[in-house]
Amino acid sequence: MTTPPRDEAAGRVSPVTYTYDWYERFFERLLDDGYTPASYDEPLGDGDLVVRHDVDLSPAKALDVGRIEADLGIRSTFFFLLTNPLYNPFHRPNRRVIHELVEMGHDVGVHFSTHQYWGEDPGDEAIETRVAAEREVFGTAFTDPSPAVSFHRPPEWVLSREFDRFISTYERRFFADVQYVGDSSQRWRDAPPDVDGGPLQVLTHPGLWGTEDATFEERVEEATAYQFDRVERFVEDEFVHDRNTIGEYDHRGTASRGADEGRNGR
């Protein structure tokens, strides 16, 4: 059985801290216990590990997480939310983040929000048509996006459901028929994941992690303050002073585990 990271000196399971150090040790433990990275376009068996990231808050932190995993030899999939008002995937600094993730060997794809379109199940054809439209738009800037799609805050009617035109990360083979663990709203805080060696999907949200521990509410506040500051400065430069300073807006995430966004004014 795979256990969470341990304090080897004390011989006990380390408490969860939402830090890059804890994150790295957790995945090191999975690899040490025999897990092998896998992808969504292949069948899963015992010891197979699919790693997924829903990028809700922070492309910059997605880059930090991607570097940690690349150093460990893990190829994961990062899903970007095109309908997210916090960040624009096509803004050049964010495009560079996504291209760098691809260059590391990671996959990138669409994080799709049904809530932007429907309040109830519209049927397979409507879902597949709208998902295809977002994937096509995403593909104009990022060639060969993942055939997998991750639903944002998935309603019950997409869970364990299969579609003809794309792979869902919530299909039974990735969700109900395997062990599925996720850090949504920092749910690992009181109960770190304990996995059993069978096929496994791990979901994390990069915006919830950082160099120092912080609560879920603090992480959300950091991310929104960071993005709002960038938008304010961008509008001031582009529209008030009529100057092109886009090159200054690249995320200062060029070194993994840099200072947290909300704490260094990035």
Can you list the domains of the chain with their CATH numbers? Answer: 6-264 (3.20.20)
| pLDDT reported for residue 259 | 40
Label residue 34 exposed, middle or buried (CB < 10 Å: 0-12, 13-18, 19+). Answer: exposed
Tell me how far apart the alpha carbons of residues 164 and 87 are, in angstroms, rounded to a whole number: 30
Find the helix or strand (DSSP H, E) in which 177 lies.
none
Higher pLDDT, residue 197 or 62: 62
Confidence of residue 14 (pLDDT cuts 50, 70, 90): low
pTM, whole model, 2 decimals? 0.88
